[in-house]
Amino acid sequence: MIKTRMQTPTQYGALVGGLIKGHYRRFATFLCVGVSGVIVTNGGLYLLHSRAGVSSVYLAGILAGEAGILVTFVLNNLFTWRGHRRRPLALRLALFHLVTCGGLGLYLLTIAVLHGAWGVYYLAAGLCGSGVAAVWNYLASHYLVFRGQHITRVLEDEDAHDGPGDELVVVGVDAAGPRLAASRKG
């Protein structure tokens, strides 16, 4: 079981402040790379739906989203997390794809709500969906795809001590990721 141990609002505020400070430059780079993903995804949505005759906005969004995922992986791998290539390229791509499929789901859900339910113009709905997905994609990419060695190493170390009375506790988070520790219940 993984749980956080936060005791006071001051500790929580320090944690959030540390995360923002530690992520400022990388998140700025991620956003710059993300602009290319937004252009590819929404440009693809426009081309597929309006020019190529894909009548379903949702199918066009899925296809365009896949193109955006591949472009942003290449650019994030080269620029945003260039110093974090300990995992094989194929594994990083697979993990990034899984993470961004979650982002794609959020993107499509936003289109469904804004365009399908509320009648917002489909390209405006797509841009809003891109913003929602961007936050998810950054956090999940940082902690799971490109920085996962820290978490994996700690989990592997703790497996040797894992018993029925043990639990894994997040004792802090910094720019390198969560710091985990095992503790014995009881």
Residue 18's SS3 state is: helix
- Judged by DSSP in three states, 78 sits in helix
Cα distance between the two ends of the chain: 15
Is the pLDDT reported for residue 167 higher than 60? no
Question: 79 near 64, Cβ under 8 Å?
Answer: no
**Comparing C-alpha atoms, which of 141, 132, 82 is closest to residue 106?**
132
Question: In which element (H, E) is residue 3 found?
Answer: strand 2-4
| Cβ-Cβ contacts under 8 Å for 159 (sequence gap 6 or more) | none
**Residues 42, 64 contacting (CB under 8 angstroms):** yes
CA distance 33 to 30: 5
Kindly tell me if the per-residue pLDDT of 12 is higher than 70. Answer: no
Position 63: which residue type? Answer: L
pLDDT of residue 165: 46
* Residue 58 neighbours by CB under 8 Å, 6+ apart: 108, 111, 112
Query: If pLDDT is split at 50, 70 and 90, which confidence band does 14 have?
Result: low
Rounded to an integer, the average pLDDT of 12-17 is 58
> Which range scores top for mean pLDDT: 16-20, 54-58, 139-143, 167-171?
54-58
Average per-residue pLDDT for the chain = 76
Instruction: Count the neighbouring beta carbons within 10 Å of the beta carbon of residue 140.
Output: 17
AA identity, residue 39: I
